Amino acid sequence: NAGVMQNPRHLVRRRGQEARLRCSPMKGHSHVYWYRQLPEEGLKFMVYLQKENIIDESGMPKERFSAEFPKEGPSILRIQQVVRGDSAAYFCASSPSREYEQYFGPGTRLTVT
Amino acid sequence: DAKTTQPTSMDCAEGRAANLPCNHSTISGNEYVYWYRQIHSQGPQYIIHGLKNNETNEMASLIITEDRKSSTLILPHATLRDTAVYYCIVYIQGAQKLVFGQGTRLTINP
């Protein structure tokens, strides 16, 4: 049973470009969570999604960031017009339901130049 | 904000038991204690969780005090691969988001 998959593992973008981060949850998991870890800091919750629905986006910056989890395919975290401050590791986690522990993927390291 | 207090760093000799403390004096009756670890810059790894009773799995043991205000994660025979940052998190199941503090940086020495 494959774990949570994230791609790309490393992403370099110039300021002003768009970044798309993908997360495929574990098989049988329909709940997806995104977290961000800035350099030398702890992980911070961004958004929680179930299939086709955003349940909690209280941790998402108000502008430029969006997330989706379509009926088919991976969850996508999209960052428009990236700035240097967006450089971070972005982790996705999944669980089979809200009451179960979350399992994390290896992360995508975004570098904005 | 994190509702737990952990030492910033700890050292342990390889082969010995590593005991990581966590204070959560404001824990509510329906909040669980979860432990995760992050090895280098990998994704956090779930270790164990508990509500009141002590718990054990193949990775670790979790000892929760009777008043639930503190707990200890025990790695019974630490190896070099257990070097990581360990996070103690209080969490209401179904609350959706894990709140990570700064954790304890555990270094296992040969």
Closest CB to B96 among A43, A44, A48: A48
- In angstroms, the CA B74 to CA A9 distance is 32
pLDDT score at A34: 97
Q: What is the model's pLDDT at position A97? A: 83
User: Following CA atoms A53, A69, B99, B20 in sequence, which dihedral angle do they give, to the nearest 10 degrees?
Assistant: 140
Terminal Cα-to-Cα distance of chain B (whole angstroms)? 35
| pLDDT recorded at residue B1 | 55
What mean pLDDT comes out for the span A38-61? 92
* Spatial distance between the Cα atoms of A4 and A101, rounded to a whole number of angstroms: 13
Between chains, do A98 and B93 touch, taking CB under 8 Å as contact?
A: yes
Q: Do the chains contact at A56 and B97, CB–CB below 8 Å?
A: yes
pLDDT, one tens digit per residue, over A53-73 is 999 999 999 899 999 999 999
The shortest C-alpha distance from B10 to chain A (Å) reads: 18
Best CA proximity match to A84, nearest among A39, A33, A46: A39
CA distance B81 to B85: 12
**Across the interface, do A45 and B98 touch by the CB < 8 Å criterion?**
yes
